[in-house]
Amino acid sequence: MGGIRGDYYWLFPSSAGVTSRNSHDKWTDFQQMWKFVRINDYVAGDYMWTGIDYLGECRWPAKGNTAGVLDTCGFKKDSYYFCQSQWTEKPMVHLLPHWNWAGKEGEVIPVLCYTNCDCVELFVNGRSMGVQGYWFPRYGMSEHYENHLLRNNAPRTTLDLFLRWTVPYQPGILKAVGYREGQVVATDEVATTGKPAAIRLRADRVDLAADCRDVAHVTVTIVDAQGRVVPVADNEITFEILGRGKLIGLDNGNPVSHEDFKSDRRKAFNGMCLAIIQSTADAGQIRLTATSPGLKANCLSINTAKTCRVL
């Protein structure tokens, strides 16, 4: 159901590859199944296949299955936010696709929004493109003729589980504003970025146990001069590690990438990749350096210490 992270060519049927189309078909199936679950009280739920992408069960040139809502790096796909819109109460909105479409100026591009708000207004460079809201399930009448059970006065524009606008592309900023009971409760923005300028490193942990087993996952992103992730960047990044640790794996979530997981270099995929660092038996500091031609390099330090592990 998940599709490929950052792949939006299914929005353009004439240019979508087979892998892209098949991934979108799986997502469409999931949406239809979840409609069935919501309409019928006797249905307990729907089985998600699967939570995270995995190797195997695919066709060449793909090396893995893309059914997850997380890719093989654990990075969230758009389908993750679709599930969030259906399964959570905290107000949220999520816009897609990215807004880096050089060469498509003036071409109409579908803009989708996953949300659990009553309705959402979309702005393109500050100009309103209108308000969309759900009409699912459709409400019937009660007590007397034409007495419809509407929760509020929010616009009802679609029977889908997502909202959709068609927008002539122009570089700039998409902004979604979500409302409940007429009040703004959530927003999301997608901006056209500049060219790749630097590498950004963020570790999920900066303190490890010096036991040859503990690991840190380092998210690597390609950003522009303003620090925004460039969603189409594919720069190759070289990693060097010094100190009391070792680099045990690299990935980028690309299902058709055949790069070595154990190499010291990896191409970013749609602006991101992952490095996994493991401690040794010696306490001290680990220093990871990431470089790429034409980009500002970055370094990250991780500390390791002797500790008692509770089993």
**pLDDT classification of 308: cutoffs 50, 70, 90:** low
The DSSP bridge pattern shows strands 207-209 and 298-305 to be parallel
Asked if 89 and 147 count as a contact pair (C-beta separation under 8 A), the reply is no
d(CA 13, CA 177): 28
Pair 138, 215 in one domain:
no
Residue 93 lies inside a defined structural domain of this protein: no
Residue 112 lies inside a defined structural domain of this protein: no
Pair 139, 46 in one domain:
no
The burial of 191, by beta-carbon neighbours within 10 Å (0-12 exposed, 13-18 middle, 19 or more buried), is given as middle
Q: Cα–Cα distances in Å, from 210 out to 126, 220, 239, 274? A: 52, 24, 21, 22
Asked if 185 and 117 count as a contact pair (C-beta separation under 8 A), the reply is yes
Number of domains in the chain: 3
193: alpha, beta or left, given left = phi > 0 and alpha = psi -120 to 50? beta
Q: Which residues pair with residue 109 across a beta bridge?
A: 167
Pair 246, 279 in one domain:
yes
Q: What is the pTM of this model?
A: 0.90
**21 or 189: whose pLDDT is higher?**
189
**14 or 229: whose pLDDT is higher?**
229
Residue 237 lies inside a defined structural domain of this protein: yes
Pair 204, 301 in one domain:
yes
- Supply the range of the domain harboring residue 254: 198-305
Q: Indicate which CATH number applies to the domain containing 124.
A: 2.60.40.10
Residue 277 lies inside a defined structural domain of this protein: yes
Residue 206 lies inside a defined structural domain of this protein: yes
Domain end call among 159, 187, 215: 187
| pLDDT tens per residue, range 191-225 | 999 999 999 999 999 999 999 999 999 999 999 99
Pair 126, 180 in one domain:
yes
